[in-house]
Amino acid sequence: MPLVKAGFVVLDCAEPEKLAVFYRELLEAEQTEATANRVEIRSADGTRLAFRRDMNARPPSWPRPENSVQAHLDFVVDDLDETERRIVGLGGRPMEAKDTPGLYEERRYADPAGHSFTLRRVAPTAPKQG
């Protein structure tokens, strides 16, 4: 029997209920637990996130060095444009306007509380047909 039964990425924020709604909608996840100071969600693919109340939380300042990236999330998607529209509609904001060239196309965003996350689209490795 494993000693560790579940792992979460925990984001500190002033309003965990509101931030949980943003990620629950983005990931089409379900809320699994909620207390006065913490909300947990799990998506269908098993991604587990928790949001902890910290009344003194300040958003990371990436790319500036002061209070810069403390942690960030990466999400793999099929359609960057469609996902970006959903993020903006849920209250997130783009942090970089251009795609990163290469095998992985990436775009960076901030959630409503200012935490950074990245969308990645893995380019197909098979030759294009037709």
| Each residue's pLDDT tens digit, 56-87 | 888 776 666 665 556 778 888 888 889 999 99
| Each residue's pLDDT tens digit, 79-105 | 888 999 999 999 999 986 565 555 558
pTM of the model: 0.74
**Residues 6 or more apart whose Cβ sits within 8 Å of residue 105:** 80, 99, 120, 121, 123
Task: For residue 109, give both structure tokens.
Answer: 């965003």
Listed by start position, the domains of the chain span 9-55+67-122
| Each residue's pLDDT tens digit, 23-39 | 999 999 999 999 999 99
- The fold for domain 9-55+67-122 equals 2,3-Dihydroxybiphenyl 1,2-Dioxygenase; domain 1 (3.10.180)
DSSP string of 31-49, one letter each residue: EEEE-SSEEEEE-TT--EE
114 near 59, Cβ under 8 Å?
yes
